[in-house]
Amino acid sequence: MNLIDIIETSFENVMQQYIEDNGSKNDCWEVRNLERANDKFGKWIMAKIKSSEIGEIVLPYYSYGGIPITPKEGAFLSDAYDNFKKNKERFRLGNKQFCDRIDAQKRLISLSGIRSIFLSQEPLFIGDSYSGLEKYKNKITHLDGFHRLMALMDMEQKPEFIQSYIAVYSTFLDSLNYGNPF
C-alpha cells in the first residue's frame, strides 16, 4: 500500500479530526481504540491512500447481530467485502443495521465526500477484536471507519484518495528518509 503526502501530526489533531467527523463521543469503543493506539505507537501521521488500494487494510474481528462480518483471525478489507457481497441478502436479513450503516455511508460519501479513516501501523493485539490478528503483524489495520471502508468498496465511483490518520511507531518516521515503508 502506498501512502501519499505523509505528514506527521499530533494526537490532539487526530482527536480534533475524529470529533469533526463523528461528533463528540467521550467514552466509546472507537475513542478508546484511538487512545490505545496512541499509547502503543506514540506517533501519528496523516496520509492519503488510493481508493484502489484500500482493500489491503486489515479489519479486526467484527460481528454484529450474531453474523460475523470478519472472522476471529481478521481479514483484509477486500476479503471481508467479498464475503459481504456474496452473502448480502443474508446480512440484510440478519444484520439490517450493518447494511443500513453501509448504505448511509454511501449516501453521505456521494453527497459530501469521504470523511477520514483511522488506522494503525499494525493491529493493537488486544481484546476480542484484535487479539487474533497475529498473521497481520506489520500490516496497516483499521481503528475507525469500518462502515465507510465497506461503503467505498461497494461504490462504483469512488474518490481517488482517502485521507487517513495512522498511528505509527517512531521508527516508521525514521524510515521515511529511505522511501515509503509500506
> Which is more confident, 11 or 111?
11
Residue type, 117: I
Condensed to tens digits (0 to 9), the pLDDT of residues 48-72 reads 999 999 999 999 998 876 778 899 9
The residue range of the domain holding 116 is 3-178
Q: Is the pLDDT of residue 27 over 70?
A: no
> What is the full DSSP assignment across 10-60?
-HHHHHHHHHHHH---SSSHHHHHHHHHHHHH-EEEEEEEEGGGGGGSEE-
133 grid coordinates: 490478528
pLDDT in tens, 84-111: 898 888 888 877 888 898 999 999 998 8
Work out how many domains the chain is built from and give that number.
1
**Alpha helix ranges (H) inside the chain:** 11-22, 29-41, 77-86, 88-94, 96-112, 127-130, 146-154, 170-175
